[in-house]
Amino acid sequence: MVRIEILAGPESGRVVELGPGTHSVGRAAGNDLRLEVDAVSGRHLELTVAADGTVRFRDLGSTNGTFSAGVRVEEGEWFPGSELRLGSVPLRLVAEDVVADADARARRAEALSGGRRGGPALAVLALLLVAGAGAAWWFLGRGGGEDAAERSGVDPQGAPVAEAWDPLADSAEWRLAGGVAFGDGALEVEAGGGAAALTRTFDVEGGGVSLRLEGTLPAAVARVAFGADDEAAQPWGRWAFRVRPGAAATLALPEGARWFRVSLALDGPGRLTGLVVEPAEAAAERLSTPVGAAATTGANLALFGLDRAPLLVLGSADPGAWTPSEGELTFDGAADFELRLGPKLHDAAIRWVFADGGPLDLAPGVAVDDTPGLLLGDEGMQLLFRTRGASHLRAGAEAAELRVEEGLTLRWDLSEDRLEAARLARDLEAASRAGDDARILELATRLLRDYPLDEEKIQTAQAAMRDTLARGRAALAALEDDVSGALFLGSVDELERLARAARGLARRFGATPLGAEAEALAAALDEAAGRQREAARVREAAYRARVLALLRRHYPMIASWALAQGEGADG
């Protein structure tokens, strides 16, 4: 059993006993030693107590750090009688002889008070001590504490203070990609730009994150991954915002996020010479929907289910905002989104990307230009994205990239879409009974591309399209057989008739490949008929010339009369 004494803060003077094992220290509920002070991270420190009383510590990537003798430390052994400072709160590992002396003093005090624990005078004294300690904590820890100590180089206990964390002091703090290199305490960025990600994880304090960049870079986009699991392994998603060198920028995160990590997309050429990452007081806008709560900051959107688990997260640094209306959220304008699905939607039976010919599964590697939408969920709850204007979607292993040119709508009320799908299915059935091929293809194409909301209607439309195209293919093959005979005979009238039939087939099958083939055949038949017509004219003219020549030689008067008749006819 070891004892830890809290030396500052609202619980100054409290002694906590910890047995052998691993214990967590931090501000959040659920820690073995909870310190409700803003300067302490949610999960700040891990302590391991051995059976022989040896204590080892490990900083858990805290924001304000862990200090020993004024030096920031990551891990090591905590010796009895020494102190560790978590942010602005110092803790002392009480030595055994101090514990024994404290017990002896307590027994003497109890004896002097006649065995009474706490009389009126002792209660007043305790109240004054607590009040004094609280005032000292407020002044040192909140009113001027850590910041003032950093400026003066001395902490509230008089020990030297380590300099503030500088992310550009050590290349080990970074993961670099593209045209980015580390050197001389700066990031060098080539003309093509690149990416840089900080390796450490920060606690969310105040609801947001503030970044300040210094250097000669044209601009940067910061992407902030965030989540709530204690291991900081699986992010809910990433939100993004633009940061201009020389000015601080703040991003509010969704309520419930407990940690964040930062990566930067850097435009070049230039140098990043300074970076400050700090928690910030900020609040994302909250919206209530029938499927759960939504949070937005600019173009960024996170949607949570009724169980408060994330359903999906959209991140974009582009300007704009989400606007709520009945049954949907709407974003107007162009944007590049990163879409990450929560576990419920990631494992859902339906994850369809709308495309020509029917939906595709949202699987890694799938890419669709000008997709009309995206359907996610199961029978109990479905969400529908609708794109406006040109778009492009590409699915990756963990997230999908979705670029829209004119806007994006997220719907949870699909009643109007389902009504339109039902109308298209009804009209398709009527067109099939009437044998109207052009109408069948028009309706099936629209249903499969824009309203593929259930398997039954998808299969019906695909079967109708398949059967109709099979009929068209057979009709085109029959035309091609007739063309061979017409070309052999050289019949202009037959070639023109077949050209009219091919052009009608092209109209029936519209923009399908079959329609294009029929249109090409009609053009070829028109050309063949023209050649046959010209050949016939040439043959007729040659025949007339031969006849006239014979008449001139043997019957000149008749030749003159025939020539005059021909000129009169021409006139």
Sequence-separated (6 or more) residues with CB below 8 Å from residue 181: 187, 188
- pLDDT range class, residue 264, cuts 50, 70, 90: very high
Peptide bond preceding 235 in cis form (omega within 30 of 0): no
Q: Percent of the chain beyond pLDDT 70?
A: 84
Indicate whether 100 pLDDT > 90: no
For residues 287 and 382, give the distance between their C-alpha atoms in angstroms, rounded to a whole number.
18
Q: Copy the structure tokens of residue 25.
A: 């220290």
Predicted confidence at residue 96, as pLDDT, reads 60
Which of 132-146, 280-294, 500-514 reaches the highest mean pLDDT? 280-294
Predicted confidence at residue 70, as pLDDT, reads 67
Predicted confidence at residue 78, as pLDDT, reads 87
Question: What is 305-339 written as a DSSP string?
Answer: -TTS-EEEEEE--SS--EEEETTEEEEES-EEEEE
Predicted confidence at residue 321, as pLDDT, reads 95
- pLDDT range class, residue 240, cuts 50, 70, 90: very high
In this structure, the dihedral spanned by the alpha carbons of residues 387, 390, 395 and 399, taken in order and rounded to 10 degrees, is -60
pLDDT higher at 385 or 566: 385
Query: What residue has token string 């949907």?
Result: 328
- pLDDT range class, residue 61, cuts 50, 70, 90: confident
Predicted confidence at residue 561, as pLDDT, reads 74
- pLDDT range class, residue 498, cuts 50, 70, 90: confident
Coil, helix or strand at residue 310: strand
Q: Copy the structure tokens of residue 367.
A: 């890419």
In this structure, the dihedral spanned by the alpha carbons of residues 542, 546, 549 and 553, taken in order and rounded to 10 degrees, is 180
Give the residue from 151, 193, 144, 163 showing the smallest Cα distance to 67.
Answer: 163
Q: Copy the structure tokens of residue 541.
A: 């003219």
Ranges 87-96, 108-117, 168-177: which has the least confidence: 108-117
Query: What residue has token string 């210094």?
Result: 214
- pLDDT range class, residue 562, cuts 50, 70, 90: low
Ranges 138-147, 361-370, 473-482: which has the least confidence: 138-147
Task: State mean pLDDT over 23-33.
Answer: 89
The two beta strands, 21-26 and 33-34, are parallel
Strand partners, 277: 211
Please give the mean pLDDT across all residues of the chain: 82
DSSP 160: B
Q: Which helix (H) or strand (E) holds 105?
A: helix 96-112
Give the residue from 266, 260, 248, 261 showing the smallest Cα distance to 196.
Answer: 266
Dihedral sign of CA atoms 517, 519, 521, 527 in order: negative
Task: State mean pLDDT over 227-251.
Answer: 87
Q: Copy the structure tokens of residue 366.
A: 């799938």
Indicate whether 398 pLDDT > 50: yes
Task: State mean pLDDT over 4-12.
Answer: 84
For residues 509 and 506, give the distance between their C-alpha atoms in angstroms, rounded to a whole number.
5
C-beta of residue 453 within 8 angstroms of C-beta of residue 414: yes
For residues 103 and 109, give the distance between their C-alpha atoms in angstroms, rounded to a whole number.
10
Indicate whether 569 pLDDT > 80: no
Predicted confidence at residue 112, as pLDDT, reads 33
Q: Going along 405-559, which residue ranges are E strands?
A: 407-411
For residues 70 and 163, give the distance between their C-alpha atoms in angstroms, rounded to a whole number.
9
pLDDT higher at 64 or 543: 64
Sequence-separated (6 or more) residues with CB below 8 Å from residue 166: 185
Helix, strand, coil share (%) of the chain residues, nearest 5: 35, 35, 30
pLDDT higher at 557 or 362: 362
Residue type at 185 in one-letter notation:
G
Task: State mean pLDDT over 323-337.
Answer: 95
Predicted confidence at residue 102, as pLDDT, reads 44
For residues 74 and 58, give the distance between their C-alpha atoms in angstroms, rounded to a whole number.
6
Strand partners, 55: 49, 78
C-beta of residue 259 within 8 angstroms of C-beta of residue 226: yes
The values of phi and psi at residue 130, to 5°, are: -65, -45
Ranges 242-246, 369-373, 385-389, 540-544: which has the least confidence: 540-544
For residues 457 and 110, give the distance between their C-alpha atoms in angstroms, rounded to a whole number.
84
Quote the crossing angle between the two packed helices 415-434 and 455-489, to the nearest 10°: 40
Q: What is the pTM of this model?
A: 0.64
Task: State mean pLDDT over 491-520.
Answer: 84
C-beta of residue 215 within 8 angstroms of C-beta of residue 245: yes
